[in-house]
Amino acid sequence: NRPLLLIAGPCALESYELCARVAEKMAEICERLGLSYVFKASFDKANRTSLSSYRGPGLEEGLGALAKIRSQIGVPVVSDIHDFTQAKAAGEVLDIIQIPAFLCRQTDLLKAAAETGKPVSIKKGQFVSPWDMKNAVDKVRGGGGRNVMLVERGASFGYNNLVVDMRSLPVMRSFGCPVIFDATHSVQLPGGAGGSSGGQREFIEPLTKGAVAAGIDGLFMEVHPQPDKALCDGPNSLALDAVEQLLEKVVRIRNAVA
């Protein structure tokens, strides 16, 4: 019965000020609620739907901002890498290395992440069964990684839609890995808005509550002070001022199933 992990932040590393504001507020809420907080933002959105989408500040500037968040706000940080060349630099700054869902079978990326010595958090591919994620875990462990987490973020369900199959939670926990539920990417409608992805913010709460009760070790949430102005994933982001209320419910459910 370790405390629930909460990985949260804006989808993209839009600016240091924005990130600091989110990190500070989240740290404060998590402190009060007894959750273990990790700040997350991407320095590069390498697989946006279209070429004109915002990508972020890039590796160098992004890691700089994350290091500053880490030292100034005093919270651990996680971000995602997109090819093996980014692993070393990322491993020097980040507390957790995240592997994007589309890349969860890329052997070199998983091995490079493992070699950083940092915990590796692998998002389950939308096209991968829960039991096949064991192979991804083994790639990291085989590369020397001692600490692997898995993240459920929905499975392909027809076109432009994802479904959260909560059977995946116990299946993936059975590999001996903490399992995180990504409450906001799970409500994406991939490509569903033409040149970008749509989202169904109204389902963040029921799915989060459901996953906590079904049994998880952590939650992942994209949080933004003004989701409708977010440069990335706005339609499925949670408003910063709505987080606390949701997390209070999460804590109550977590205690009920403890």
Give the binding site for its own copies (CB under 8 A). 46-51, 55, 82-85, 102-103, 105-108, 125-132, 135, 138-139, 142-143, 155-161, 163-167, 169-170, 187, 190-191, 195, 200, 202-203, 206-207, 209-215, 249, 252-253, 255-257
From the CB of 181, what's the least distance to its own copies, in Å? 10
From the CB of 70, what's the least distance to its own copies, in Å? 26
From the CB of 204, what's the least distance to its own copies, in Å? 11
Q: Compare residues 31 and 132 and give the one whose CB is closer to its own copies.
A: 132
From the CB of 132, what's the least distance to its own copies, in Å? 4
Q: Which of 154, 149, 141, 144 is nearest to 119 (CA)?
A: 149
Q: Compare residues 75 and 116 and give the one whose CB is closer to its own copies.
A: 116
Alpha-helical regions (H) of 116-185:
133-142, 168-173
Q: Compare residues 27 and 169 and give the one whose CB is closer to its own copies.
A: 169
Q: Compare residues 91 and 190 and give the one whose CB is closer to its own copies.
A: 190
Q: Compare residues 15 and 85 and give the one whose CB is closer to its own copies.
A: 85
From the CB of 97, what's the least distance to its own copies, in Å? 17
C-alpha to C-alpha distance for 19 and 2, rounded to whole angstroms: 27
Burial degree of 165 (CB within 10 A; 0-12, 13-18, 19+): middle
From the CB of 47, what's the least distance to its own copies, in Å? 4
List of long-range contacts for 98-102, beta carbons under 8 Å, 24+ apart: 98/40, 98/122, 98/123, 98/151, 99/123, 99/136, 100/46, 100/47, 101/125, 101/126, 101/151, 101/153, 101/185, 102/47, 102/126
The kind and range of the H/E element at 37 are strand 36-40
Q: Compare residues 28 and 54 and give the one whose CB is closer to its own copies.
A: 54
**Backbone φ/ψ region at 228: left (φ over 0), alpha (ψ -120 to 50), beta:** alpha
